A and B are shown apart, each in its own frame.
Chain A
């Protein structure tokens, strides 16, 4: 099927080269980080996890969200999502690979990472996260490959694939739950140690992931013959509405317990996020942008007429994606460390090399998505493949 990747329009190749250029540039910065050490980032003794781990956390959510199209199609035989499932699975594969790369670049001794397998430690949530993510990648590779192969040959997929797909559904839930457990089991971090973290992660994932899927579908619809169908998009929009409502509800639960009890070790973190602490207001404007985007997107989603207008829907989905990216990809991880266990309001901001390395991984993810979608759409002859 790889031959489909090698044939494409000028725009296709332009996009591929653009992404490749970013990847190559960021690779040089990674080499620099590798020789100097992680001191090249904004991290310090006080804030030991930052932008990389935050991107990882956000992308686990995007990976898990593939289940929002897989579940209705395979469990409820919801045929409308027929054209979307493969895109959901490919999005999951690309996201998991990005997750793994973000973990890799965050390691102080990346080439010792094999120690995780040589000395497996079932007591560590990180061990289980590795198992969950690796397994999820494997499941999705098998499923998408078998299903697409069958589609290319115009035959029904083999029967044994159905149970594999069914397993992938709870597995998707597990990857984000275990990722939440990385944080929520730590006595040292009151900001993370909340039972609602896993539900919150899932709700935000099931709104931001499908939002990205809609954005890509609407984009593909413009540049190719691909059309997932109006109803499919609308059903996804309803899923996003419920997930986003649940997400905001969960956050309000946190806000209530924190601000009403006013326990210093809890409230200080929220003050750092929303009003600033000891004069440090690094994240305050970002968090308010996130809040405004989330609330206005939800209000628009409540009106079917707005939802049905695909231009407005595009804006809504963009707002949700950005809002949740700020919440998880910027605020959530760092704030666990500020203030520190010793009460210091530490300073952290990602450095240019840190952002560029991250950008490179995002570019690689988008390159994978592009290649995978190219294959999927070519198999379905929804792209006219130019041959010069």
Chain B
């Protein structure tokens, strides 16, 4: 009996190994990401956002973009820092741009609060560490998430140099004040972040934050289209990005 059992176990183990090997076999071909070079002849869409800080800072305590986003996407509010989840938020200039600050910085910028969100990088360091491909970069540049596949290991959070990702430390559904039925809620134990309003874009709408901004400080568009609003704005104004030195190629531009 013992012999048979052992033989059975061995065969089962071998079978399992074989199946796993078959699964892995076709994977190594397309693993290495290529840097997305912006090509003038490229007809592909490349979504990006331009934030005009001059306009944004004109309205100091404005939270319209944040409220609109969090309401649209059922982002819970726990009212404490430990459980905090945020997709778009405001941070002091010197925290947002630590490599572009100085003591005698322009008064207007010095302690200003800058809106931050996921940079939808061209070389996202978060997607490459994900052990389940639960987060990835789409062809149009949006860094997406699959909340049904995420195992909640939080490796992507450690890998993001911009602090753009949040984790559901507890059940989020208890702390959503007004439920939006156009967007799913999440469950505890998964990571979430800005999706550039992918659900609204397919309906032909602009992102909720852009729509909510009364100052027209947020602009959303296709970077590969030479005639797009974002390209025009970037051509005429001096713009900066967060930590470009890291090579992540962030696609949120700030006009200062």
| Chain A residues close to B by CB (< 8 Å) | 36-39, 43-46, 48-49, 103, 106-110, 112-113, 115-127, 130, 182, 185-189, 265, 336-337, 340-344
Nearest Cβ on chain B to A268's Cβ, whole angstroms: 11
**Residues on the B chain within 8 Å of A187, using CB:** 125, 159, 161, 246-248
Determine if B28 and A37 form an interchain contact, defined as CB atoms under 8 angstroms apart.
no
Determine if B154 and A48 form an interchain contact, defined as CB atoms under 8 angstroms apart.
yes
**Residues on the B chain within 8 Å of A336, using CB:** 158
Determine if B190 and A188 form an interchain contact, defined as CB atoms under 8 angstroms apart.
no
Given A108-B152, A109-B152, A187-B246: A130 and B158 within 8 A (CB)? Answer: no
Binds A, one of B56-64, B162-170, B220-228: B162-170
Q: Which residue of B lies closest to A187 (CB)?
A: B246
Interface residue B20 (Cβ < 8 Å from any Cβ of A): yes
Q: Which residue of A lies closest to B83 (CB)?
A: A39
Q: Which residue of A lies closest to B94 (CB)?
A: A343
Determine if B95 and A342 form an interchain contact, defined as CB atoms under 8 angstroms apart.
yes
Determine if B154 and A130 form an interchain contact, defined as CB atoms under 8 angstroms apart.
no
Bound together, the chains give a CA A110 to CA B247 distance in angstroms of 33
Nearest Cβ on chain A to B188's Cβ, whole angstroms: 4
Number of A-B contacts (CB under 8 A): 149
Q: Which residue of A lies closest to B19 (CB)?
A: A117
Interface residue B132 (Cβ < 8 Å from any Cβ of A): yes
Given A107-B153, A126-B155: A45 and B166 within 8 A (CB)? Answer: yes
**Residues on the B chain within 8 Å of A112, using CB:** 132, 149-152
Determine if B149 and A188 form an interchain contact, defined as CB atoms under 8 angstroms apart.
no
**Residues on the A chain within 8 Å of B168, using CB:** 37, 108
**Residues on the B chain within 8 Å of A119, using CB:** 132-134, 149
Determine if B161 and A124 form an interchain contact, defined as CB atoms under 8 angstroms apart.
no
Bound together, the chains give a CA A49 to CA B91 distance in angstroms of 23
Given A106-B153, A116-B131, A341-B162: A39 and B170 within 8 A (CB)? Answer: yes
Nearest Cβ on chain A to B163's Cβ, whole angstroms: 5
Nearest Cβ on chain B to A315's Cβ, whole angstroms: 37
Interface residue B140 (Cβ < 8 Å from any Cβ of A): no
Bound together, the chains give a CA A340 to CA B81 distance in angstroms of 14
10 A-B pairs (CB sep. < 8 Å)? A44-B83, A107-B151, A112-B151, A115-B149, A118-B132, A119-B133, A119-B149, A122-B31, A185-B129, A343-B95
**Residues on the A chain within 8 Å of B82, using CB:** 39, 44-45
Contact residues of B between 194 and 251, Cβ < 8 Å to A: 246-248
